[in-house]
Amino acid sequence: MASIKCTASIVVYNNPPDMIRKAIESLLLYSSDVKLQVVDNSPTQAIKSSLIDLPIIYNFSGCNLGYGRGHNKAINECSDSKYHVVINPDIVIAPTTMHTLTTFMDENPDIGIVCPKVLNADGTIQHLNKRYPTILDLFVRRFMPNFMDPFMVRRLDRYEMKDKGYDTEYDVESMTGAFMFCRMDVLKKAGGFDPRYFLYFEDFDLSRKVKELGYRTVYYPYATVTHFWERAAHKKLRMTYVFIVNMFRYFNKWGWKLY
């Protein structure tokens, strides 16, 4: 069987069906040759009926596998492709993005993962590029009030790579998992996402594993997606707990750095 140029996966858990449809349609409308798998971690298959008319592979997990393990489930079944795209269900992809990123990766075989410019619904930039995190960076970003003193604002700006800006191409230490365009053979060598992370930090961890293999992880601003961000860790106590648990897993694996 001939290999597929590009596969993709979206992991859902009780997400609104219209949100999921928008993500799928934005991918397939201008990239009809992409083989897309929707991994449903929801308690029931209620979402399936709202997607039945779309040319996707629907994969019901039967339990909540978590974000990384859900994508691994799809990755393991899509091993014949050259590229694989990890997509959040709250993403809408611009018409030329898939073609632009495919061309960019074809021309740069030393890159393992590329992420595009990520926009808010109003067109402003989401500052999702990160340097390697420290305890202080994560505390400031999650828990400090809006009236942070100027030192902490500067600290956070550096962590989010605002000093580099978001208008030029450059290497990023910690990539966002909202939309990751990956080279499949590199993704397989890295072992996909570490299944120990239920949610949060699996993208940072994958970035480090890819770089350890000798490949670059790059931000490419000439392609865009829109992210309708819910920031669950800021809204629910349980998700804050999940964030903290996986933060400990990340630092236990890669080494603790306070500031």
What is the band of 154 on the pLDDT scale with cuts at 50, 70, 90?
Answer: confident
Q: What is the pLDDT of residue 125?
A: 97
Q: Which CATH number fits domain 4-254: 3.90.550.10, 1.20.1080.10, 3.40.190.170, 3.40.50.1000?
A: 3.90.550.10
Answer whether residue 43 shows pLDDT above 50: yes
Lowest pLDDT segment from 55-64, 71-80, 176-185, 242-251 = 71-80
Spell out the domain ranges in the chain.
Answer: 4-254
166-205 per-position pLDDT tens digit: 999 999 999 999 999 999 999 999 999 999 999 999 999 9
Answer whether residue 144 shows pLDDT above 90: no
Q: What is the pLDDT of residue 146?
A: 61
Lowest pLDDT segment from 148-157, 196-205, 207-216, 244-253 = 148-157
Q: Which of 6, 14, 26 is nearest to 227 (CA)?
A: 26
More confident residue, 145 or 60: 60
Q: Which of 119, 114, 120, 219 is nearest to 164 (CA)?
A: 219
Mean pLDDT across 158-170: 97
